[in-house]
A = this chain, B = another copy of it.
């Protein structure tokens, strides 16, 4: 179940109709989920900011890095130019190179891009090597492109799917989760690839029967907003999402590579600094609820621990 199916609603702003990142403009999400044999538990998740040619029509964007111990591709250009020029792919740690290649091939192949010679692919990752044979070079470039091709507006499949297929959070099965918030006339959504740990709190309350202090892993948060913000204020907005991560109990360990990428689909002149406060607060709430949804929708999973070369089983969160 999602958090709201259990009567859990985080914060004070109302969610959008789908309570998902796809509530924002025409944002679309696609997964490729690879569950094969005893060892393959991985995948990729694509977020498309709009249905057009993203290279030609670039959303303003920002990136906040809470802990840069990760392999996020495209970071410096997003920060320098304040925009993205490809969709966003999430996948596993050792697949980032193939994700970059997939976005390059995807972009070169789109109508209107026949003379494009420079592409800044945006690829986030977390490490699914506790349930997946991460050394085995999956997903492939073509499988990543399938995630892009699969992207659709509407409800988002959550839990152990796409880039969340093999992730672990708080020693429980993690995954993909999403949530959204309406802030006045604006809509903001968050999608997370949850693979981090610490001491789990559900809306501030401790949870019984959870593995203690499992702090491995990382998180990528992708945030969409239709509020027109400068890249500077988008970056500030992104940084607030880490408060949702803190509230659910992340230990923010050395090894937890934590990234928040945000893009705006809102046209027009940027709002001023003062207008940001409710947008900041809402992104905290949505991030916390998106993580909770990832955990609640994930279920149990058997797989392969590549670091220790042995089978592994991870339980899903039950409240």
- Chain A positions near chain B (C-beta within 8 angstroms): 12, 65-77, 79-82, 93-94, 96-104, 108, 115-121, 127, 129, 134-135, 198-199, 201, 203-206, 213, 215, 230-232, 236, 239-240, 242-247, 250-255, 257, 259, 269, 273-274, 276-277, 280-281, 284, 306-309
Contact of A82 with B230 at beta-carbon distance under 8 Å, contacts A243-B250, A246-B246 already known? yes
- Note all chain B residues with C-beta closer than 8 A to A309: 115
Contact B94–A97 (Cβ < 8 Å)? no
Q: A121 and B71: CB pair below 8 A? A: yes
Complex CA distance for A250 and B274, rounded to whole angstroms? 17
Residue in chain B with minimal CB distance to A277: B253
Q: Which of B76, B119, B239, B306 contacts A72 (CB 8 A)?
A: B76
List 10 tightest A-B contacts by C-beta distance, closest first: A204-B204, A97-B100, A68-B76, A68-B80, A97-B101, A117-B129, A243-B246, A246-B246, A253-B277, A254-B276
Q: Which among B102, B127, B253, B269 is the interface contact of A280 at CB below 8 angstroms? A: B253
Select A118's contact among B66, B120, B127, beta carbons within 8 Å: B127
Q: Are A281 and B308 in contact (CB under 8 A)?
A: no
- Option from B93, B119, B206 in Cβ contact (under 8 Å) with A204: B206
User: In the complex, what residue of chain B is closest to A63 when comparing beta carbons?
Assistant: B76
Rounded to whole Å, the gap between the CB of A302 and the closest CB of chain B is: 18
Chain B hits for A201, CB < 8 A: 204
Q: Across the interface, do A119 and B98 meet the contact criterion of CB distance under 8 Å?
A: no
Q: Are B76 and A65 in contact (CB under 8 A)?
A: yes
Distance in angstroms from A317 CB to nearest chain B CB is 17
Contacts of A70 in B (CB 8 A): 76-77
The chain B residue sitting closest to A239, CB to CB, is B66
Identify which of A75, A117, A213, A245 gathers the most chain B CB atoms within 10 Å of its CB: A117
Question: Which B residues touch A244, using CB under 8 A?
Answer: 246
**Given known A-B contacts A12-B199, A119-B94, A273 and B239 have beta carbons under 8 A apart:** no
Partner of A252, one of B68, B281, B306, B308: B281
How many Å lie between the Cα of A135 and that of B255 in the bound state?
Answer: 36
A140 to chain B, nearest CB (A): 11
The answer to whether B81 touches A251 (Cβ under 8 A) is no
Q: How far, in angstroms, from A115 to B134 measured CA to CA in the complex?
A: 10
Residue from B98, B240, B277, B307 in contact with A97 in the complex, judged by beta carbons closer than 8 Å: B98
Query: Contacts A77-B257, A93-B117, A115-B307 hold; do A101 and B104 have CB atoms under 8 A apart?
Result: no
Query: Quick check: B81 and A69 within 8 Å, CB to CB?
Result: yes
B-side contacts of A93, CB under 8 Å = 117-119
